[in-house]
Amino acid sequence: MQRGWHTAAVRVYLGSDHAGLELKSHLVAHLEKQGHDVTDVGPHVYDAADDYPPFCIETARRVVADDGSLGIVIGGSGNGEQIAANKVPGCRAGLAWSVETAQLTRQHNHAQVIGVGSRMHSAEEATGIVEAFLDTAVDDDPRHTRRVQQLTDFEQTGNAPALPEA
């Protein structure tokens, strides 16, 4: 498998709506060529009336159930798509609009999923954003781990982290 500058193959799930279909198809082909294990959650045909929640929620569900996998959800802006992914318990999804934000959401927030806006980027720009996300490891610095744990605890218990005393 030709890997280019990538360090390791990753299992990647991708979902979109009609606005993200073309970019999703491009990314599926590109990532497969790079040697990643890719699952296209859908849609598989253009339907201007489709909705993003079913595809993005299912993408996030698969990522959460498949430890070590990553996900990409794609729509016109990527905003609603990452919101939908974040509704899945255990999923941390961030909106990535640049290489740097893709890297930071992975490093600092330990995100497993990114939202990408197909109307915000060329295919080349979006590909660079996705590659940066897939190639970035989480940063296990205690401050990042502590913050992610606070979110996980809140999600599991409903108890918000205590505010610092003034």
Residues 106-123 have pLDDT tens digits of: 999 999 999 999 999 999
Q: What is the CA radius of gyration of the chain?
A: 16
| Helix, strand, or coil (residue 87) | coil
Task: Grade residue 166 by pLDDT with cuts at 50, 70 and 90.
Answer: confident
For residue 116, tell me if it sits in a domain: yes
- Output the domain CATH number for residue 129: 3.40.1400.10
- List the domain range (segments joined by +) for residue 88: 11-157
pLDDT per position as a tens digit, 31-78: 999 999 999 999 999 999 999 999 999 999 999 999 999 999 999 999
For residue 164, tell me if it sits in a domain: no
Beta bridge partners of 37: 11
In angstroms, the first-to-last Cα distance of the chain is 56
Over range 18-34, report the average pLDDT: 97
Whether residue 87 has pLDDT greater than 80 = yes
Spot the catalytic one: 26, 30, 108, 144.
108
Total-model pTM: 0.93
Tokens in use for 5? 């500058």
For residue 4, tell me if it sits in a domain: no
Number of domains the chain contains: 1
For residue 6, tell me if it sits in a domain: no
Supply the pLDDT for residue 135.
96
For residue 166, tell me if it sits in a domain: no
- What is the identity of the amino acid at 152? T
Question: Would residue 81 show up in a list of annotated catalytic residues for this protein?
Answer: yes
Tokens in use for 159? 């108890």
| Residue-averaged pLDDT of the chain | 94
Spot the catalytic one: 36, 81, 110, 121.
81
For residue 2, tell me if it sits in a domain: no
| Helix, strand, or coil (residue 164) | coil
Supply the pLDDT for residue 39.
98
- What is the identity of the amino acid at 7? T
Supply the pLDDT for residue 20.
97
For residue 3, tell me if it sits in a domain: no
Place of tokens 């080349």: 124
DSSP H helical ranges for 13-51: 21-33
For residue 41, tell me if it sits in a domain: yes
Supply the pLDDT for residue 7.
60
Question: Would residue 121 show up in a list of annotated catalytic residues for this protein?
Answer: no
In the chain, % of residues over pLDDT 90: 94
Enumerate long-range contacts of 60-65, CB under 8 Å, 24 or more apart.
60/84, 60/85, 60/86, 60/87, 60/88, 60/91, 60/93, 60/113, 61/88, 61/91, 62/13, 63/13, 63/91, 63/112, 63/113, 64/88, 64/89, 64/90, 64/91, 64/112
- What is the identity of the amino acid at 33? K
